[in-house]
Amino acid sequence: GINAEYGEHKRTLLQRRSEKMSDDIAERVKEIRKECEQLKEHIKANHEEMNDTTLKQYVEGEDIQLPRGDKLKVRRTLKGHLAKIYAMHWAQDKIHLVSASQDGKLLVWDALTTNKVHAIPLRSSWVMTCAYSPSNSFVACGGLDNICSVYNLRNKEIPIRVCRELNAHTGYLSCCRFLNDKQIVTSSGDMTCILWDIEAGSKIREFSDHKGDVMSVSVSPDGNFFISGACDATAKLWDLRTGKCQQTFTGHETDINAVQYFPNGNSFGTGSDDASCRLFDIRADRELMHYSHDNILCGITSVAFSISGRYLFAGYDDFNCNVWDTLKGERVWSLEGHDNRVSCLGVSSDGMALCTGSWDSLLKVWA
């Protein structure tokens, strides 16, 4: 009887101690949460304090003329795809480009002569992205098959067969970009990005912090970072070496479909379904400029900068490509030439040509 009483007493004491500890922990967590909120507010206040001007205010009154030149004209039309074009990417050699269409073909073009250099049949026709490697030796693509397929253009086989299939994403592949011939970054509808070892066919690093499908990636000029844009309306800066998210940029009201680094690597542009493009600065950690117009009501599919960074090109769902003055936020031209949505665009590495791809199954080269 004494033992049972003693055991009961001991249990009661332990229970009380446990309850007290739980209360203490809950109180401590509450305090820490409060402290975190205060620190966030402090950082925000500091941030606002440093925010002494906007790009628009800064250039107002300055006599910053646009480079003199006529409106871009269509110089070449690349015909060959039999269905909607979803993606294109220039090679570093300034002449070749790759395009991907839901006709199940990956075409490599000579943009000067308009000749097709390679026609690569795809295992899955539901392709959403394509990329050219910096050495011009490889191309890659992917889409609703969740796989990034890599092709070696030096291969003498006809047709060229896939040399690597990178398979780890659990959602569609939305974008891919080579770092070099051995590494590639992919983004996916599974809310993650992955850095791959192409030769081993294995995952080096996974990047997960987005709360929605990741739609686009852009690698920094130094190759150490990349920007991702997603359906959670945020863009994130990632360190490729650590896998950590360094910064998160907010401002868009809905899905970000496209991101592109500014030529100097200190800023980047975004295009969204909210009918606006924006310029974010990495060092200032904020939005610098907003590109929109009252009569533009449709989403943006793709963005690219001119080689100087003075022009921002954006592809729209309303079949047009708008050209913006990056500094002043004003529309310079509207390039009309496609009969359907402009799904992709890119500027050649020497800055001499703009290529637009569309659901009308055509690619147009402007200069």
The one-letter amino acid code at 296 reads I
Whole-number pLDDT of residue 47: 74
Q: Is it the case that residue 359 has pLDDT exceeding 90?
A: yes
Instruction: Work out the end-to-end distance of the chain between its first and last CA atoms, rounded to an integer number of angstroms.
Output: 98
Please, what's the b/e burial string for 60-73 (b: 16 or more CB within 10 A of its CB; e: otherwise)?
eeeeeeeeeeeebe
Per-residue model confidence as pLDDT tens digits over 96-153: 999 999 999 999 999 999 999 999 999 999 999 999 999 999 999 999 999 999 999 9
Whole-number pLDDT of residue 10: 74
Question: Distance between CA 143 and CA 172 in Å, rounded?
Answer: 5
**How does residue 2 score in pLDDT terms, banded at 50, 70 and 90?**
low
**How does residue 1 score in pLDDT terms, banded at 50, 70 and 90?**
low
Give the mean model confidence (pLDDT) for residues 290-311.
94
Whole-number pLDDT of residue 203: 95
Per-residue model confidence as pLDDT tens digits over 91-101: 999 999 999 99
pTM for the full predicted model: 0.85
